[in-house]
Amino acid sequence: MASTSYLEGIRQGIWEEMERDPSVFCLGEDIGIYGGAFKVTDGFIERFGPERVVDTPIAESAIVGAAFGASLTGLRPVAEFQFMDFIGCAFNQITNMLAKAHYRWGAPAPVVIRGPSGGGVHGGPFHSQNPEMYFVHTPGLKVVCPGTAYDAKGLIKSAIRDNNPVIFFEHKFLYRRIKEDLPAEDYTVPIGKARVARQGRDLSIITYAAMLHVALEAAEILAKEGIELEVVDLRTLLPLDREAIATTVRHTNKVIILHEDTRTGGIAGEVAALINEEAFDDLDGPIVRITSRDTPVPFSPPLEDYFLPKVADVIREARRLKSY
């Protein structure tokens, strides 16, 4: 089967779910005739009609609220955000309305909120953010951040089939940059399960989304000097896969946590705390964090390059930790 991009994987996933289940529908800005700012829903309106591909006014709070409302009538809405940077506009609906509905009054909220996040494309402070941690801090939500085309497709399908609100962060740097062969048959990837993306014995690197590829590239280089990295792709940030995190630490005894999100309050802190709880005795060195700087995402390429974690950072820290 022809190689499929990350973006195409998401497209296929939504398309197939819409074919399979008539209760799935999409809503969002410019998703109809235009096919969405990144063309994820290109051709959907032709196939499913304007009833199931709803081009909305620019009103994120209304999009999320209406998605929840439609879910109360038994549907499974998939709401597109043109950029996840704008998710703050719907923050209250997501964190107070959707996230608490089942706990408070027994109403499930099978809503998917999806869209592009992440930097590396010189999009500046409002088209590059990684806002996942606002939502990881909210019980009732699930937060998914795929790093491969296979996972993107399998996880969007799981997100649509899930009975809970899922915030699905697509990484725009990966959209058209990575490709792989996908199975022809229907498959899903479970939410809440991490994946060992590369096996290694010397130290573990726990990461997700675009940074998965930075970790894999560093692992390739380090292997040549005899340092074997084990790369764990979290895939889901909420709920975290405690077992997978503990297992890799028990296996290698040294761990780096790498993410593109900014440092303070990033998932690395949570993962480190979890390691402390689950596998403290297995650690043979300090837990190392590699993250973006604690600043807004700057626009200018030299600034953004400085801001983002790089392969060289991973190599440097891995060598240091190996010899600890």
Ligand X SMILES: Cc1ncc(C[n+]2csc(CCOP(=O)(O)OP(=O)(O)O)c2C)c(N)n1
Q: Does 60 bind ligand X (CB under 6 A)?
A: yes
Say whether residue 273 binds ligand X (CB under 6 A). Answer: no
What crossing angle do the helices spanning 149-161 and 6-20 adopt, rounded to 10°? 30
Let me know if 171 is a catalytic residue.
no
Neighbours of 195 (CB within 10 A): 17
Binds ligand X (CB under 6 A): choice among 17, 29, 80, 132: 29
Q: Verify binding: residue 89, ligand X, rule CB under 6 A.
A: yes
Distance, CA of 286 to CA of 254 (rounded, Å): 7
Residues 141-170 that bind ligand X (CB under 6 A): none
CB 13 within 8 A of CB 40: no
Q: Name which of 8 and 80 has its Cβ closer to ligand X.
A: 80
Q: Give least dist CB 124 to ligand X, A.
A: 12
Please, what is the Cα angle at 228 between 316 and 318, to 5 degrees?
Answer: 15
Where does this chain touch ligand X (CB under 6 A) — which range of 68-76, 82-90, 272-280, 301-309? 82-90
- Alpha-carbon span 262 to 236, nearest angstrom: 18
Residues touching ligand X, count (CB under 6 A): 6
Coil/strand/helix, residue 217: helix
Catalytic annotation, pick one of 102, 122, 127, 259: 127
Q: Cα Rg for the chain, rounded, in angstroms? A: 19
DSSP 3-state assignment of 77? Answer: strand
Selection from ligand X, other proteins, none that 260 binds (CB < 5 to 8 A by kind) is none
Question: Which one of the spans 81-89, 114-122, 173-181, 268-276 is the region binding ligand X (CB under 6 A)?
Answer: 81-89
CB of 90 to ligand X, least distance (A): 9
Which of the choices ligand X, other proteins, none does residue 127 contact, using the CB cut-off of 5 to 8 A by kind? other proteins
C-alpha 65/C-alpha 67 separation (Å) is 5
Tell me how far, at minimum, the Cβ of 43 lies from other proteins, in Å: 8
CB of 259 to ligand X, least distance (A): 25
When asked if residue 82 is in the footprint of ligand X (CB under 6 A), the reply is yes
- Shortest Å, Cβ 312 to ligand X: 34
Q: What are the angstrom distances between the C-alpha of 119 and each of 182, 209, 213, 263, 289?
A: 26, 11, 14, 15, 19
Active site amino acids: 127
